[in-house]
């Protein structure tokens, strides 16, 4: 019933396959530099600080009044480049330290809408 010609190659293939299961697999991971890690943490901190300002009731009210979804604005802030985040955070911090009044809040909302419009997220200008 068993043909000895086929038994030896099958047994050899099974043994070599089982032996290969125990060999360690190579990893394709690389080292993350300290600069990259610090940059990523700074970026996340900037995004959180900007979203905290956007979460204020008066800013959120202005965004909604101008037809911008606050959740969409927060998502777009996360997609900004590092330079754009720094520029936006600097502008918002300057307004925030001065005690943001109605004019300053309008300025904040204008900056956010301008960035959203430049990134083609909204069609606020095209709808006019």
Instruction: Name the residue with tokens 């006019």.
Output: 128
Answer for the pair 52, 100: CB distance below 8 angstroms, yes or no. no
Residue with the bigger pLDDT between 99 and 36: it is 36
59 domain residue, yes or no: yes
Give pLDDT tens digits for 97-123: 555 566 666 777 777 777 777 777 666
Task: Kindly state whether residue 45 falls inside one of the protein's structural domains.
Answer: yes
Tokens of 19: 């032996």
Counting the structural domains of the chain, the total is 1
9 within some domain: no
Q: What is the mean pLDDT of the chain?
A: 75
Position 23 in a domain? no
Model pLDDT, residue 51: 85
Range of the domain at 40: 33-118
pTM for the whole thing? Answer: 0.51
Does residue 75 form part of some domain? yes
Q: Residues 6 or more apart from 91 whose CB is under 8 A from it?
A: 107, 108, 111
Most confident of 42-51, 79-88, 97-106, 108-117: 42-51
The pLDDT value given to residue 79:
83
Q: Is residue 53 part of a domain?
A: yes
């Amino acid at each position: 019933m068993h043909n000895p010609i086929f038994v030896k190659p099958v047994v050899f293939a099974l043994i070599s396959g089982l032996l290969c299961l125990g060999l360690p697999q190579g990893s394709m991971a690389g080292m993350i530099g300290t600069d990259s890690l610090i940059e990523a943490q700074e970026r996340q901190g900037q995004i959180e600080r900007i979203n905290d300002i956007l979460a204020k009731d008066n800013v959120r009210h202005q965004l909604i009044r101008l037809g911008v979804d606050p959740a969409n604005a927060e998502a777009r802030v996360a997609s900004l480049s590092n330079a754009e985040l720094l520029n936006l955070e600097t502008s918002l911090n300057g307004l925030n330290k001065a005690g943001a009044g109605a004019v300053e809040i309008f300025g904040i909302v204008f900056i956010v809408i301008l960035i959203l419009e430049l990134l083609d997220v909204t069609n606020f200008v095209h709808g006019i």
